[in-house]
Structure 1
């Protein structure tokens, strides 16, 4: 992680830290940051850790072994120029996005059946198979790029001058959904420095007891 990125995250969290209330949390995000408020579907959601110190991981993410392929261990560095980030960094992006920064998009690349079990507050679900460049419907891909990612199509060529910083994740270090999308974006010229990858995904998020939300019925 680049030093300037770490400094930015540290600065943001320092600005968010508030005097501890009478009902102070026992399990905080960091030593001086209990929780962070973000927006999800127009509603405020507080990202915090589960306060039950006997709590165990969600059974959906308790497996240690899945058939490989396709569920193979992903590398720490997915591609040159693409930052691999952790929980504090993705919370940083979620907070900025919730505060009105429209140059950022946090993307849950999983299919809807997984999202129904819970996602990260503030993330937008764009299923990986809708953005599987080279295999998905080209019109659907173009609509996603233009509507969500700030990409322009000019005379049949994608223009990335106003492309958003996209932060992508899926189920965990064994999941190839967001990596497939990231590699596809790079192939069409999406700037690598505007792609961030939360490698740990939902498995690491759940392992830390962090807040999840489910789609409205």
Structure 2
């Protein structure tokens, strides 16, 4: 096994061992800079269910600014990778006519000269994109693009798994909060558990708010509120 293959195998194990979406994303962007000589900075974009894009990890502020500018303008390698082409490579941003508004700002202001964006996806979902920036014209040759594809594949699977973990933890926290609120209502008002739950449920319906939000206020304030 050559050095790169060994490094990618280690990376796959490391990503599998991470916990949580942000932790996984931060690990991936650091790995991109470490494994690709052309890569001066990396960011990881998540595609949310409502269609919005968010950079959840970036190696530096320049990457964060470059990514956010793409979202604001609705154009750029990352946006194109998520919406159209799974792999978007620009060896010379200054000569690239695909994203004129974005290029005219990132080249002089951020020093970006070439870029590679790779969609993160699984058989179930499109997750986002891995965005790699270079300060060199001609950055990301064939070997580095292959490395980026491998990294993106491992990262997509790891993020999908960590998202499931995040969702599970959030659900557990909501159930715990509701249970604690039921206990408070039972104690303060002398109610049985089913009646206390029904009080919270009706309050949720009347205020058109989620039950776990009502429960959170009860837990924090120690009493029911009428909104």
Give the TM-score taking structure 1 as reference length.
0.28
Structure with bigger gyration radius = 2
| Bigger relative contact order (CA 8 A; separation at least 6) | 1
